[in-house]
Amino acid sequence: MEIGNSRFANTGGKLEIITMDCIFCKIINKEVPSEVVYEDDKIIAFKDINPKAPVHFLIVPKKHIVSVNHLEMQDKAIMADLVFVAQKISREKNLKGYKLVINVGSDGGQAIDHLHLHLLSGKPTELP
């Protein structure tokens, strides 16, 4: 269902909002290209377009959740999934160590209002 700029998905009887203006939703829907490094039914991970380290991936839930501040108890597993995908990618890419960063809200440096985990490895030039 579409109303204005939003699409609604019926997930198990519950209406879920998908903001069509959201760049990460567009990447998830393959309306915008990205270099995908991991994908399953709940999570996608792709290279950051403006990397702040030699390795910089964004790990993103397919569900449109604005930020950590917007998480509900039912989303608990999603946060665990994000971290386990980070671990999986780091093993696949043989990363010796890495940083995981989540910016929350514009005052926290969050530019894209769709929850995401930054995975950075190598010497970061700056924090994302």
Does position 23 bind ligand 5GP by CB under 6 A?
yes
| Closest distance of CB 117 from ligand 5GP, Å | 9
**What span, in angstroms and rounded, lies between the C-alpha atoms of 38 and 107?**
29
Binding of ligand 5GP by 128 (CB under 6 A) = yes
Helix (H, G, I), strand (E, B) or coil at 16: strand
State how beta strands 43-47 and 14-19 pair: unpaired
Q: Could you say which of 56, 114, 116, 118 contacts Zn ion (CB under 5 A)?
A: 114
Q: How far apart are the first and last CA of the chain?
A: 35
Return d(Cα 117, Cα 82) in angstroms, integer.
Answer: 7
- 114 a catalytic residue: no
Q: Helix, strand or coil for residue 117?
A: strand
* Stretch binding ligand 5GP (CB under 6 A), from 4-12, 14-22, 46-54, 72-80: 46-54
Under the binding rule (CB under 6 A), the answer on residue 15 touching ligand 5GP is: no
Binding footprint of Zn ion on the chain (CB under 5 A): 22, 24-25, 64, 114
**Mind telling me the catalytic residues?**
116
